[in-house]
Structure 1
Amino acid sequence: MSVRGDRGNVVARAEGGVEWTAAFADLDPAGFPMLGALDPYGDAVFNRRQVPLLLAELDRLPAACGGDWVGQARELCQIVERGTHRYLWFIGD
């Protein structure tokens, strides 16, 4: 995970990444549309207007999907919210 600017410059980076478990497959896409966009093999990008929705989903994320990555994602979301032309990137393998 990283926060990037318009030109792709990295503003901040997480130490880890999403810990993919079978529990992610059980998330209801209607209840978790932002997290449902994550793909272990592809990239997902969230803009400043989408970050509050992502944060709300992180608040109700089942424990089975949690881990250190959740706190790191929250910190990166705050960096996106505090600036302009910043995007949160989840980078797949």
Structure 2
Amino acid sequence: MINLAVRGDSRKIVASAEAGVEWTAAFADLDTADFPMLIALTPYGDAVFNHRQMPLLLAELDRLPAVCGGAWVAQARELCQVVERGTHLYLWFIGD
């Protein structure tokens, strides 16, 4: 399970998602050219995105194949908005 959280520079959690990303092999099959942000997700590592990456990440979430979707997608969008509205905030995808 990959958890989602918004953290500041101090790594203190500002917001988090209730739903996590259920890892499937479909994530590994995403095309690097079409999903340069989401291809960074791995089941055991962390991926961190800053406010300048939010538009690209949101666009990728819009076209994400259904097999990779779930409740986490809507919550990720909400967390993207938290990052965009704040300063020195980052969206973390936290692997196990």
Which secondary structure state, in structure 2, belongs to the residue aligned with residue 49 of structure 1? helix
Shift of 1:21: 1.4
Q: Percent identity?
A: 80
**What residue ranges of structure 2 are gaps of 5+ in the alignment?**
none
What is the rounded CA distance, in whole Å, between the counterparts of 2:28 and 2:93 in structure 1? 17
What are the ranges of 5 or more consecutive residues in structure 1 without an aligned counterpart? Answer: none
What root-mean-square deviation, in Å, do the aligned CA atoms of Structure 1 and Structure 2 show? 0.7
Deviations 1:31-81 (A, max 9, x none): 101000111100000000011110000000011110001011001000000
Q: Residue 48 of structure 2 corresponds to which residue in structure 1?
A: 45
Find 1:68's aligned residue among 68, 71, 77: 71
Q: 2:17 & 2:58 partners in 1: Cα distance?
A: 16
Scaled by the length of structure 1, what TM-score is found? 0.96
For 2:22 and 2:76, locate their aligned partners in 1 and report how far apart those are by CA, in whole Å.
12
Question: What's the TM-score, normalizing by structure 2?
Answer: 0.93
Q: How many residues align?
A: 93
User: Could you tell me how far apart the structure 1 residues matched to 2:42 and 2:85 are?
Assistant: 26
- DSSP 3-state at the match of 1:50: helix
User: Secondary structure of the residue that 1:20 maps to in structure 2?
Assistant: coil
Q: How far apart, in 1, do the equivalents of 2:94 and 2:28 lie? A: 18
1:25 offset after TM fit, Å? 2.1
SS of residue paired to 1:3: strand
Matching residue within 86, 89, 96 for 1:83: 86
Does residue 28 of the first structure (1) align with residue 31 of the second (2)? yes
**Deviation beyond 6 Å, 4+ runs, structure 1:** none
